[in-house]
Amino acid sequence: MNADQAFSIYEGVRHRLPPVVRSGACLRVPDLDAIADDVDVFLLDAFGVLNIGENAIAGVPERVAGLQAAGKRVLVVSNAAGYPHTTLMEKYTRLGYNFDTDDVITSRHATLAGLAAAPAYKWGLMATPEFEHRDLDPFDTVYLAEDPAVYATVDAFLLLGSAKWTPERQALLVAAIRARPRPVFVGNPDIVAPRDVGFSVEPGSFAHALADATGIAPVFFGKPFGNIFDIAFARLGEFDLARTVMVGDSLHTDILGGQAAGIKTALVAGYGFFAGHDVTAPIAAAGIRPDYILDCP
């Protein structure tokens, strides 16, 4: 999948996303340092802002460290639901970042809160078994693979990570929902994520395809939905919305979500989703206008 295809899919599911609530000025600036005088709190997406795949974006660890040294509050707000928190902390340390453990907030946190508030379902789980999932121990889960009986017998479905998901498993999920509609929780609303080469297809892509095929209404956790921003704001305590910015590479998750949450937004144009593309036409087509457009983080 390429950027044009992903953009078209996002546009096709706009009815499931928050509405546009305001229009930003699209002020073009070189990087995060250029907006630091107007911002006290930086909420940074991960993929396309801190890193591409398993590599840090050149110069960004140093820039983030400079913002932290200047007294800015810097949080990671990411849809990386497939990764346990300890795994992410180890990754960011390895890439040269120094984040407090409470300042890395992912859609997995929002999902776990949603699970805790839900009935005591038996959950069919889309996830990568190789990762540690001890934080799911309080919940009754079973991995979804090739056995149709599992899909038939669980009470609800939880989509966390799609690295091992296949068309065959997607077909089993669609058939199971058609036979007996059940709740579907989605821990990562992203349709794609930028990698070292191309894009990976994320749980949001399969969730929207499932909704299109069955009419089910998935419950999404993470950007652009407010549940992840509620967690971030609670971590911040007292702060000024007008001096807070969501920085990301996606119009439909980072920018739309930040605007809906009532904060400034900055689109990274040179890396991640729009790398190698002019962002002017997509911004006009989507009608999602950030406050800032950054050449790089």
Say if residue 211 is in the same domain as residue 142.
Answer: yes
β-bridge mates for residue 140, sequence order: 122
Residue 233 in any domain: the answer is: yes
The predicted-structure confidence for 178-195, as pLDDT tens digits, reads as follows 999 999 999 999 998 877
Residue 168 lies in a domain: yes
Asked if 68 and 135 sit in the same domain, the reply is no
pLDDT computed for residue 54 by the predictor: 85
Is the distance from CB of 185 to CB of 114 less than 8 angstroms? yes
Q: Give the end of a domain, one of 170, 195, 220.
A: 220
Pairing label, strands 122-126, 104-106: unpaired
What span, in angstroms and rounded, lies between the C-alpha atoms of 16 and 265? Answer: 21
Q: What was the pLDDT predicted at 193?
A: 81
Q: Model pTM?
A: 0.94
Contact predicate 66/60, CB 8 Å: no
- Do 93 and 230 belong to one domain? yes
CA distance 163 to 123: 19
Same domain, 37 and 71: yes
Q: Would residue 137 count as lying in a domain?
A: yes
Residue 242 lies in domain: 28-108+225-294
195 in the same domain as 237: no
| 3-state helix/strand/coil string of the chain | CCHHHHHHHHHHCHHHCCCCCCCCCCEEECCHHHHHHHCCEEEECCECCCEECCEECCCHHHHHHHHHHCCCEEEEEECCCCCCHHHHHHHHHHCCCCCCHHHEEEHHHHHHHHHHHCCCCEEEEECCCCCCCHHHCCCEEEECCCCHHHHHHCCEEEECCCCCCCHHHHHHHHHHHHHCCCCEEECCCCCEEECCCCEEECHHHHHHHHHHHHCCCCEECCCCCHHHHHHHHHHHCCCCHHHEEEEECCHHHHHHHHHHCCCEEEEECCCHHHCCCCCHHHHHHHCCCCCEEECCC
pLDDT at 240: 98
For residue 68, tell me if it sits in a domain. yes
Structural domains counted in the chain = 2
CATH code of residue 253: 3.40.50.1000
What pLDDT sits at residue 133? 80
Residues 97, 101, 103, 104: is their CA dihedral positive or negative?
positive
pLDDT at 267 over 80: yes
Q: 229 and 103 in one domain?
A: yes
Distance CA 273, CA 46 (A): 12
One domain, residues 98 and 123: no
Q: How confident is the model over 56-112, as pLDDT tens digits?
A: 999 999 999 999 999 999 999 999 888 888 889 999 999 999 999 999 999 999 999
Last residue of a domain, one of 220, 253, 281: 220
- Least Cα distance to 39 among 14, 1, 67 occurs for 67
Determine, yes or no, domain membership for 98. yes
134 lies in the same domain as 207: yes
Q: Are residues 290 and 208 in the same domain?
A: no
Asked if 211 and 235 sit in the same domain, the reply is no
Q: How far apart are CA 250 and CA 286, in angstroms?
A: 11
Label the pairing between strands 51-52 and 55-56: antiparallel
Tell me if 15 is assigned to some domain: no
Looking at the structure, tell me whether residues 174 and 238 fall in a common domain. Answer: no
The angle that helices 3-12 and 203-214 make with each other, rounded to 10 degrees, is 40
Q: Of 220, 254, 272, which one is at a domain's C-terminal end? A: 220
Asked if residue 10 belongs to a domain, the reply is: no
Domain assignment present for 40: yes
**Across the chain, what does the average pLDDT equal?**
94
Of the candidate ranges 42-56, 96-110, 142-156, 187-201, the one whose mean pLDDT is the lowest: 187-201
pLDDT at 199 over 90: no
CA distances from 244 to 25, 49, 75 (A): 16, 16, 11
Which residues, in sequence order, are bridge partners of residue 47? 51
pLDDT, residue 52, reads: 86
Report which residue type is found at 38.
D
5 close to 202: Cβ distance less than 8 angstroms: no
Q: How far apart are CA 261 and CA 241, in angstroms?
A: 9
pLDDT category, 31, cuts 50, 70, 90? very high
Q: Judge if 216 and 232 occupy the same domain.
A: no
Average the pLDDT over 249-262 and give the result. Answer: 97
